Amino acid sequence: MISTTILQALPSKASEKYLKECIQNKVEPDIYKVSGMTSEEILTYFYETFNFKKNKDGWIVNLDLNKFKYKNLPFNLVDPNTNEVVAYKDVKLSLKF
């Protein structure tokens, strides 16, 4: 993709930090220490990330359910406190959810 190639040409977060330090220290940057955005940085630029935590029954994640309204989930959504299924797999979430 063109957008991926363009973003790889932009400095990564580590490179930005290095360049700022060079400016503060009034030192010429070493071009071999500067790199473009990583694949992970490019993905997080376009997509939201979620932190998952493994437990004995599955995975726990904090979700904004408003983002899933009118969509079918590819899994059952279970309340980790009560183990109650609050949304079933392949059933479209409604407004009242």
Question: What gap in Å lies between CA 12 and CA 54, rounded to an integer?
Answer: 30
Q: Is the pLDDT of residue 25 over 90?
A: yes
Question: What gap in Å lies between CA 69 and CA 93, rounded to an integer?
Answer: 5
Q: Assess whether 39 and 58 both reside in one domain.
A: no
Q: Assess whether 93 and 80 both reside in one domain.
A: yes
pLDDT at position 86: 84
- 61, 77 in Cβ contact below 8 A? no
Q: Assess whether 36 and 6 both reside in one domain.
A: yes
Q: Does the model's pTM come out above 0.85? A: no
pLDDT at position 95: 62
The overall average pLDDT reported for the chain is: 86
Q: Assess whether 2 and 18 both reside in one domain.
A: yes
Q: Is the pLDDT of residue 72 over 60?
A: yes
Share of the chain above pLDDT 90, in %: 30
- 4, 36 in Cβ contact below 8 A? no
Q: Assess whether 25 and 63 both reside in one domain.
A: no
| Structure token pair of residue 7 | 């973003």
Domain around 44: 1-49
Measured from the Cβ of residue 2, the count of other Cβ atoms closer than 10 Å reads 6
